[in-house]
A and B are shown apart, each in its own frame.
Chain A
């Protein structure tokens, strides 16, 4: 079991672009600890020589033909943006102090 899991969870949350207040961090770290301990039982199994499965069914379907097709979605997609300026989606300025 990893020591100082709470710090590790906080760091992991930052990687996932999430932040928690102190009391929420306690709760989520406790739940995460329970789940992580639970899933570690997979170590009971010897998987030497076993190939990993990423997709249960082989669904390789090949490549599409290289044909130009029309798409009329651009304006509708832009309209979904919380802030936009003409054909651009707007975001706040990137500030040097950000990590």
Chain B
């Protein structure tokens, strides 16, 4: 059920938060062994929070749409007193002394925190196969991956192990798993949501966003978590609109751009058909569609795989075994303390990206790689801004293929990185984008439609997504 449906039941006293929380606990205990979406279960504290939420609901004061709603969170969000690992051995026993801004906002709104969700280590991955807690499996078919890095998040929402969640998206890590698991995922404009208390991967690209069963739930969650935060120097000081009010479902008069470069080699036939069918639905709903050109599309993935590892190598320098996290037992001095703690603590994909990032920033190579990539980033961003002069939103696939099998791409880094071909350009340009379910492959696996908007136009893209969702009702397809 969705957050808004559950909130209705809670307000009519048809169910209590304690009962609702126990329902989710039972579902996780029954079904998560074969999915592996949870890495930390906080069920005792959840039951206490549910009791407190019921008291708050009984008093009828200070009720929000999230009061009493059970949620789990991606294990990248720092949660006071509850282990937060980023699915890395280097943080295997880290208990944060504080909660980040968005977590505090959710707590103030009255959520019940069920636990922490599996992810690719330090958010580096597109399949949730790079986790120190083992891979996550797609609830639609457990031989397949759920996408990543917010794979545990997407799988848990799809499987009914959490009412909704927040993920993070640096190159596609909300939108890709949302599309692979048949749920809704939103990456807001860079700076729309505070990153304070989100374990950093790439600081100019990371963004927090809702992952939910429908578009209305995403709007509800964004209203709660968005907004200026003095603790995040990159947070935008812009008021938060009422995102649920602008879900009218009316797209008449809107122009939607279809990027010609997104429909070439490498696009799976099932995905192409689903997107073209979605274009037809938009036209039926009264939107105009037109071809646009994003001429530097093919350079987005190489650009991203210079910038993201470079920023990650800087952000992960703090893990040195000194102030928190895993400390090696084998050090003969300070230098070995750093090297052995890090080598023992990081997984192979993280180590690879740190090495690549260090290389592209090092003396003699900085101009050729990092500076070059920053210039290409300008070209990619300008492609979008030019396109938005003649259209209100751009639609595209979220992924070039439907979900793939576990192990299929894990040994070929480029094959894996190319999953980000339609999502990474959006992070480089700082734009908002949402993935909504738009059908299934011939093998019965979900396909996602991506709607990309102008900076700060979350309301516009969510309304287009809502119109499409209400017309097609893909989100009501049940997991068998």
Which of the listed residues B323, B326, B428 has the most CB atoms from chain A within 10 Å of its own CB?
Answer: B323
Bound-complex Cα distance A59 to B430 (A)? 11
List which A49-89 residues lie within 8 A (CB) of chain B: 50-57, 59, 61, 64, 73, 76-77, 79-83, 89
What count of chain A residues pass the 8 Å CB interface test? 56
Which of the listed residues A24, A80, A94, A97 has the most CB atoms from chain B within 10 Å of its own CB?
Answer: A80
B1 at the interface (CB under 8 A from A): no
Known: A36-B359, A42-B372, A95-B332. A18 touches B302 (CB 8 A): no
Q: Number of contacts between A and B (CB, 8 Å)?
A: 188
* Nearest chain A CB to B390 CB, angstrom units: 21
Known: A53-B378, A98-B335. A15 touches B358 (CB 8 A): yes
Bound-complex Cα distance A95 to B233 (A)? 39
B233 near A61 with CB under 8 A, answer yes
**Interface-forming stretch among B43-51, B176-184, B285-293, B347-355?**
B347-355
B359 near A45 with CB under 8 A, answer no
In the bound complex, residues from chain A placing their C-beta under 8 Å from that of B359 are: 8-9, 12, 32, 36
* Nearest chain B CB to A77 CB, angstrom units: 6
Which of the listed residues A9, A40, A42, A98 has the most CB atoms from chain B within 10 Å of its own CB?
Answer: A42
For A48, give the chain B residue with the smallest CB separation. Answer: B375
In the bound complex, residues from chain A placing their C-beta under 8 Å from that of B233 are: 59, 61
A91 at the interface (CB under 8 A from B): yes
In the bound complex, residues from chain A placing their C-beta under 8 Å from that of B189 are: 57
* Nearest chain B CB to A57 CB, angstrom units: 4
* Nearest chain B CB to A73 CB, angstrom units: 6
Bound-complex Cα distance A15 to B339 (A)? 10
Known: A31-B413, A32-B359, A91-B322. A16 touches B430 (CB 8 A): no
Bound-complex Cα distance A59 to B320 (A)? 30
Which of the listed residues A14, A28, A54 has the most CB atoms from chain B within 10 Å of its own CB?
Answer: A54
A28 near B348 with CB under 8 A, answer yes
* Nearest chain B CB to A28 CB, angstrom units: 6
A82 near B381 with CB under 8 A, answer no
Known: A55-B234, A77-B97, A80-B97. A16 touches B313 (CB 8 A): yes
In the bound complex, residues from chain B placing their C-beta under 8 Å from that of A40 are: 302
Selected from B94, B356, B371, B381, the residue in CB contact (under 8 A) with A36 is: B356
The B interface, classified by DSSP as helix, strand, loop or mixed, is helix
List which B87-121 residues lie within 8 A (CB) of chain A: 94-98
Bound-complex Cα distance A12 to B375 (A)? 24
A3 at the interface (CB under 8 A from B): no
B455 at the interface (CB under 8 A from A): yes
For A51, give the chain B residue with the smallest CB separation. Answer: B378
Selected from A15, A36, A52, A98, the residue in CB contact (under 8 A) with B362 is: A15
In the bound complex, residues from chain A placing their C-beta under 8 Å from that of B379 are: 45, 47, 50
Known: A80-B324, A94-B333. A52 touches B455 (CB 8 A): no
Bound-complex Cα distance A95 to B332 (A)? 8
Known: A45-B376, A57-B455. A92 touches B333 (CB 8 A): yes
Q: Flag B160-200 by CB within 8 Å of A: 1 or 0 each.
A: 00000000000000000000000000000111000000000
Bound-complex Cα distance A92 to B455 (A)? 49
For A37, give the chain B residue with the smallest CB separation. Answer: B414
Bound-complex Cα distance A10 to B345 (A)? 18
Selected from A35, A43, A55, the residue in CB contact (under 8 A) with B430 is: A55
List which B283-303 residues lie within 8 A (CB) of chain A: 296, 299, 302-303
Bound-complex Cα distance A80 to B325 (A)? 8
A19 at the interface (CB under 8 A from B): yes
Q: Flag B317-338 by CB within 8 Å of A: 1 or 0 each.
A: 1001111111100011111111
List which B347-391 residues lie within 8 A (CB) of chain A: 348, 351-352, 354-356, 358-360, 362, 368-369, 371-379, 381
Bound-complex Cα distance A42 to B368 (A)? 9
In the A-B complex, the 4 residue pairs with the closest CB atoms:
A56-B430, A76-B97, A52-B374, A82-B327
List 15 A-B pairs, Cβ < 8 Å: A16-B317, A17-B339, A18-B354, A34-B414, A39-B373, A44-B299, A53-B374, A57-B189, A61-B230, A61-B235, A77-B323, A82-B326, A82-B327, A92-B331, A94-B334
Residues of A that sit less than 8 Å from B by CB = 8-9, 12-20, 24, 27-28, 31-32, 34-36, 38-45, 47, 50-57, 59, 61, 64, 73, 76-77, 79-83, 89, 91-95, 97-99
Residues of B that sit less than 8 Å from A by CB = 94-98, 189-191, 204, 228, 230, 233-237, 296, 299, 302-303, 305-306, 313, 317, 320-327, 331-340, 342-343, 346, 348, 351-352, 354-356, 358-360, 362, 368-369, 371-379, 381, 413-414, 417, 428-431, 455
